[in-house]
Structure formats: C-alpha cells, structure tokens
Amino acid sequence: MTGPKSRSLFDEAQRLLPGGVSSPVRAFRAVGGAPFFTERAAGARLFDADGNSYIDYVGSWGPMILGHAHPAVVAAIAETAARGSSFGTPSYLEVELARRVIARFPSIEMVRFVSSGTEATMSAVRLARGATGRDLIVKFDGCYHGHVDALLVRAGSGPATFGIPGTPGVPESVTRQTLTLPFNDLAAARDAFTRHEGKIAAVIVEPIPGNMGVVPPGAGFLEGLREITSSAGALLIFDEVISGFRASPGGAQALFGIRPDLTCLGKILGGGLPVGAYGGRRDLMERISPLGPVYQAGTLSGNPLAMAAGIATLDQLAKPGFYESLDRAAEALAAGLEAGARAEGVAVRVNRAGSLLTLFFAADPVTDFASASRSDTQRFARYHGAMLERGVFLPPSQFEAWFVSAAHAESEIEETVRASREALAAAVRS
C-alpha cells in the first residue's frame, strides 16, 4: 500500500520521532501497514509523496469542512501572514472571530481563545471547579476530551466508578477526582449525583461523540443531563471540539436545543490551523484572569493566522444552503455504504450525525462505548487497507469519525461507494 518514498520517509521518521509520528493514530498501528506521507491537498483529496491520490474522509480530523486549500481560507492566511504571524498583543481578528462565535452559539456570552481542543477542555474544567468550589468531574466512557490528565481515564467496572489512569505518567491521585459513566445512561448519571451529592463540579460530554466512532445521543439523554446538573448546582460542559460548526451552524447544542453552561470549541474554528476556545455564561467567564481568580494563559492564544482562517471559514459556512448540501452528501454516502454491505452480505452499522459518520463492523446497534468495542476491528483493518488500495483514505481506526466536506462532489461519493463494495467483497467477506 505504502509507496517507496513514503516508506523511506517513515523509516527516517521513526529514528527521529516517537513512532515516526507527531500524534499516535497517524502511525496506522490499529490497521497495520505504514502511513503514507502527504505532500499536498486540494478539495476532497490528498496527494502523497509517491504521487498517489486519495479521497479524504479524515479531513485533518475534522476542521477541513470546506475541503483542503479553500481559496478564501488560503487568501486570508496569506494576507494576514504578510502583516505578521504572531503579535503577543490583542488584534482586531480576535474580536471579529469572537463576534461570529457568540452570534452562532446563544449559550456563549464570552469566549476565550486557546491553541488546541485539549487546552479548551482543560481550561473549562478548571473554571468549573473554580466556580463551584467542588472537585469531582463526570465524564463518559468513550468520550475523548484531549490528553488532559484528569480526563484521560478509562471506564471503571460500574456506574460512577472512580477513574483510573489511562496512561502511565498520570497520577492516580489526579484521576481519582474523575467519575466515568456509560454514555447514554441517565440512570447512571442520577446515581452518581446521589452518591456524591454536593461534590460534583461539572459533567463534561461530547454531545455527539466522535472518538468511539460516531454515537448519537439517545432521546432525552442530553436533556436529562441538563436537568440533573441544574438541580445539583453543577455545570454542564459540552465538548463541541468536533461537533461545533459541523452538526449545525450552532453545533450540537443548537441541533438538540440544549443550553450548556460552558462550551469547548476547536477544529473548524481555526480553518485548519491550531486553535481552540471555551466560552459560556458571562458570570462564569468573568471568573477567568485578568477579571477573576481562575488563571489561564497562552502565548499563541488568539494567533492572527488562526483567527483569520477561522473568520474566512465561518463566513463560508454562513452562505445559504451550505449545511443542507453537506447533509445530502453525507446521507448519500451513508446510504451507499449500507446498500453495498447488504449486497455483499456483510453485517455493518453506519451511524451518522450530520456530516459525521462511522461504519462499524457490528451486527447490533452501536449506542455506547461497550457496544462500539464489540465491533470487529480486524475486519475494519482489512477494509481500511482495501479502501486505501482503491484510493480512499479513512481514519485508521474503527473508533473514529469519518468527515464529509463540502468539497466531496457527487462523483467522489459514488466512487467511494463503489470502492467500499469492492473492498467488502475482496477483503472482508472472505
């Protein structure tokens, strides 16, 4: 699968970078083989060092909702770069992007820009603890909130089990303040608040999880979390780093009609450049330094290049019919994948939420991390390799979201559907 130039680059990279990569999933360990090295990208396609072209459903893990190298975004970055790449002072670009974020998310009255989704969730949790004077945080199995020590925990053995570290280097004393619960299980959430009455600072949740694969929330789940946290004097944090600006112009919270106390954003917000943000009620955000005692800072926060790229991206998303067209493309892809699997007699589940989707090699519905974990990962690995051979790049893990962009034309969706059926026949059914 991997051409000689990519293989040579990977061999050298493994001597210089841990695992040869700057982020673990890029190493293809979950699907086997070696990664290709990208030289350039345009629209819905990546082009590797060996001259191969791939229809891309990774989209830099979400931000490329317009497709790669969109002219408006490229122009905004170039124009801004000519005036300087980092100032260390405020710039009008922060004000412009903040205005756009607040206009789209009614729950956000003030926003603070940071440089990554991990920074956003870390800062929101710190703010929640500072505002409530409580220590415990509730998260859900399979929801990923970045590599924050307190949130990088695996599930316990039952509802409201205290988390244990998901990696060496994270002290158990840190994760002891984190409760992990099954996603889509309101009874477990109610039980946790009963057992730890007056001690829980916040619930943090991906309203549409994308890191156990796409798993939409069940009917009433998010509404129930809003009611539980409000009654207990705890905060509700929506981690919309993936779903923000993708599920709808106002994220998953607009789609489901839920108003969280704090929201974490990233990915699309920077138009492909490193960025994150957290925001929420004015009374909470005014607790952040320099107005309040909760400290958070960042040298590159509000970086002008990222702000300019974000402004250009959000302005494109605001064009009439954008989301309707994007949804039609994702719907056509999901329907085609399902039809191809039926024709080949292969049991799959395709979960979709807007332009996010995942094909699970599972016979039963996938509604939480436990059911996602029962998927056949070996079959997915073979399928991934067969799709790559046919010029389609999927996330190299069963437990990730596929991202459809506005650059995926009907012809590319049809090509993907044909490739999928061939891949199922050649590499999976056997």
Q: What is the DSSP string of 231-251?
A: HHT-EEEEE-TTTTTTTSTTH
Rounded Cα–Cα distance for residues 309 and 75 (Å): 9
Rounded Cα–Cα distance for residues 189 and 194 (Å): 9
Nearest to 144 by CA among 94, 200, 199, 212: 212
Torsion, Cα of 249, 250, 254, 256 (10° steps) = 70
Rounded Cα–Cα distance for residues 172 and 176 (Å): 6
Rounded Cα–Cα distance for residues 265 and 275 (Å): 9
Q: Which amino acid is at 19?
A: G
275 in Cβ contact with 269 (< 8 Å): yes
Pick the catalytic residue from 56, 57, 267, 376: 267
User: What angle separates helix 410-423 from helix 377-389, to the nearest 10 degrees?
Assistant: 130
Which ranges of 273-408 would DSSP assign to H, the alpha helix?
282-285, 304-317, 322-344, 369-373, 377-389
> What is the C-alpha radius of gyration for the chain, rounded to an integer number of angstroms?
21
Pick the catalytic residue from 56, 239, 368, 376: 239
Rounded Cα–Cα distance for residues 343 and 64 (Å): 32
144 is catalytic: yes
Pick the catalytic residue from 48, 54, 57, 144: 144
239 is catalytic: yes
Rounded Cα–Cα distance for residues 400 and 259 (Å): 26
Largest CA distance in the chain: 63
295 is catalytic: no
Structure tokens, 33:
């083989």
Pairing of strands 356-360, 402-403: antiparallel
CA distances from 125 to 71, 112, 234, 394 (A): 37, 14, 12, 32
Q: Which amino acid is at 220?
A: G
Rounded Cα–Cα distance for residues 307 and 91 (Å): 9
Q: What is the DSSP string of 355-384?
A: TEEEEE--SS---SHHHHHTS-HHHHHHHH
The residue whose two tokens read 């040298």 is 299
Q: Which residues are catalytic?
A: 144, 239, 267
